[in-house]
Amino acid sequence: MKIAIAGTGYVGLVTGVCLAEHGHTVVCVDVDKEKVERMRQGISPIYEKGLDELMKKNQDRLSFTTDFSGAYRDAEVIFIGVGTPEKRDGSANLKYVYEVAEQIAASVEQDCVVVIKSTVPIGTNDKLEVFLREHLIHSVNIFVASNPEFLAQGTAVRDTLYPSRIVIGTEMKAVEEVLMRVYEGFDAPVLVTNRKSAEMIKYASNDFLALKISYINEIANLCELVGADIEDVAAGMGYDERIGSKFLHAGIGYGGSCFPKDTKALHWLANFHDYEMKTVKAAIEVNDHQKLRLIKKARKYYKELKGLTVAVLGLTFKPGTDDLREAPSLVNIPILLDEECRIQAWDPVGEEKFQERFPEGIEYYETPEEALEKADLCLIFTEWNEVKTLSPQCYQTHMRHPIVLDGRNCYRPEIFQGTDVIYDSVGRGACGKE
Ligand code: UDX
């Protein structure tokens, strides 16, 4: 099929590449000329496992352009995968969705289905269809369907090629059939529902996962107070299939481009309808506090943080991505900078973007070991493999005062017993020299 994709961020680009892999002819549209040029050369603008290879493999079926009218003119299906960032009030900003819609309406010259992949507030599909029809220049039939995306960063290609489910939101059989043809080669359960339910499935799924994380983080905080071990508690809970073992990893809170934004957007939407989502509100509040857990703990070991040398291992919101959005490092490092700490940071891919945001005051190192050199404190924000494989001896050898505060529970605390390292993680007692 002839498919156009609006937006080449995580959702748009990965969708486009994976649809090309399934034999469709795909043109990806973006306003950023430089980015388009790089993609034409086979360079992916995002760090995502397997994406470059698939881009190269499918280059005959995959093209990139800034010429939206050429791309949309005769597309059978147009996917919208642009961002829906958070507004100051927490609601979703649909500016980019509507900008693209205007371009689509001005360009299409044959009947087509516009599919919204971006996460949008419930009711947006209905409104966008009206908007498109009002702005059409040519006399064609245009339909809008919802098809939310559930990919996670770091596993985006796998999640798209082998999705947990394909949700198709449409009230029209003909539109459903078009989407079924798009996904013909995919092996996944398909749920066809109305557009509003499809939109809600996306928010409800993301917010439930965020809630699950905040819940386990609160249990972890309580574990510390009563002397239980969160890893054992989570393992014990996970055996119950009704609970499941996934998303029960306690830590310093969730970040990324979805959970923080989607929890706030749903909370805002509920408020708009004069309803308070108390569970979602709690997930947000717990997460905001959780992000500051390590700094609070640091004050247990040092009355004053002022002037300390602090090693920071991991800057991105999770491993496997260079994305910094809502990463715990972003709230903690400014606090350390205010305390005039010397910051020695390491991250395998996040450094460049971090440097853009904080051009001064941070020293970056090639290896975790170098970042640990003569540090008074180590804060672990991301569970990169390079961090998980460091030994207690490494901390002991390199740090001036080996105090390790682990926000991602990278190690079993016992391995620090008998060493000089003080190891304090989330939801488990501190271990090592007192
Ligand atoms: C998430 C959803 O997983 C995905 O389905 C949706 O489409 C987009 O949002 P993503 O943000 O890429 O994907 O990452 P995810 O792996 O879900 O992690 C989000 C955050 O939660 C990370 O900061 C991670 O460290 C944190 N997390 C995750 C935990 O703290 N504990 C867990 O058990 C799982």
- Enumerate the domain spans of the chain: 2-193, 202-289, 291-432
Indicate if the pLDDT at residue 434 is higher than 80.
Answer: no
Give, for 142, the enclosing helix (H) or strand (E).
strand 142-146
Average confidence (pLDDT) over 201-207: 97
Q: In this structure, are residues 96 and 83 in contact, taking their beta carbons and an 8 Å threshold?
A: yes
Q: What CA–CA distance (Å, rounded) separates 146 from 203?
A: 13
Q: In the prediction, which pLDDT does 46 show?
A: 86
Give the number of the atom of ligand 1 that is nearest the alpha carbon of residue 202: 7
52 CA → ligand 1 middle, Å: 23
Tell me the best of 84, 160, 213 to mutate to test the pocket of ligand 1, counting ligand atoms within 8 Å of each CB and taking the most: 213
Q: Choose, from 18, 258, 378, 431, the residue flagged as catalytic.
A: 258
407 CA → ligand 1 middle, Å: 15
Average confidence (pLDDT) over 335-357: 95
Q: Which positions ≥6 away from 393 have C-beta within 8 Å?
A: 419
pLDDT band at 148 (very low <50, low <70, confident <90, very high): very high
Residue 28 annotated among the catalytic residues of the structure: no
291 CA → ligand 1 middle, Å: 15
260 CA → ligand 1 middle, Å: 10
List residues near ligand 1 (CB under 6 A): 149-153, 206, 209, 213, 247-249, 251, 254-259, 317-318
Tell me the best of 84, 259, 332 to mutate to test the pocket of ligand 1, counting ligand atoms within 8 Å of each CB and taking the most: 259
Average confidence (pLDDT) over 397-419: 96
Average confidence (pLDDT) over 321-348: 96
Nearest Cα residue to atom 33 of ligand 1: 247
Q: Which positions ≥6 away from 245 have C-beta within 8 Å?
A: 234, 235, 237, 238, 239
Nearest Cα residue to atom 9 of ligand 1: 258
Q: In this structure, are residues 234 and 245 in contact, taking their beta carbons and an 8 Å threshold?
A: yes
What are the tens digits of pLDDT across the range 220-273?
999 999 999 999 999 999 999 999 999 999 999 999 999 999 999 999 999 999
What are the tens digits of pLDDT across the range 356-401?
999 899 999 999 999 999 999 999 999 999 999 999 999 999 999 9
368 CA → ligand 1 middle, Å: 24
Indicate if the pLDDT at residue 433 is higher than 70.
Answer: no
Q: In the prediction, which pLDDT does 189 show?
A: 98
Name the class of domain 291-432.
alpha beta
Give the number of the atom of ligand 1 that is nearest the alpha carbon of residue 255: 23
Helix, strand, coil share of the chain (percent; to 5)? 45, 15, 40
Nearest Cα residue to atom 32 of ligand 1: 247
Q: In the prediction, which pLDDT does 48 show?
A: 86
Indicate if the pLDDT at residue 314 is higher than 80.
Answer: yes
What are the tens digits of pLDDT across the range 86-108?
999 989 999 999 999 999 999 99
Average pLDDT, the chain: 96
pLDDT band at 325 (very low <50, low <70, confident <90, very high): very high
Q: In this structure, are residues 365 and 333 in contact, taking their beta carbons and an 8 Å threshold?
A: no
Q: What CA–CA distance (Å, rounded) separates 30 from 313?
A: 34
Check if 2-193 and 202-289 are the same fold: no
Angle between helices 195-226 and 230-238 (to 10 degrees): 140
What are the tens digits of pLDDT across the range 51-62?
999 999 999 999
What is the value of pTM for the model shown? Answer: 0.95
Q: What CA–CA distance (Å, rounded) separates 148 from 258?
A: 13
Nearest Cα residue to atom 14 of ligand 1: 152
CATH fourth-level superfamily of 202-289: N-(1-d-carboxylethyl)-l-norvaline Dehydrogenase; domain 2 (1.10.1040.10)
Question: Considering just the CA atoms, what is the radius of gyration of the chain in Å?
Answer: 24
% of the chain surpassing 90 pLDDT: 94
274 CA → ligand 1 middle, Å: 29
pLDDT band at 47 (very low <50, low <70, confident <90, very high): confident
Average confidence (pLDDT) over 113-119: 97
What are the tens digits of pLDDT across the range 276-303?
999 999 999 999 999 999 999 999 999 9
Indicate if the pLDDT at residue 319 is higher than 90.
Answer: yes
Instruction: For domain 2-193, give the CATH number.
Output: 3.40.50.720
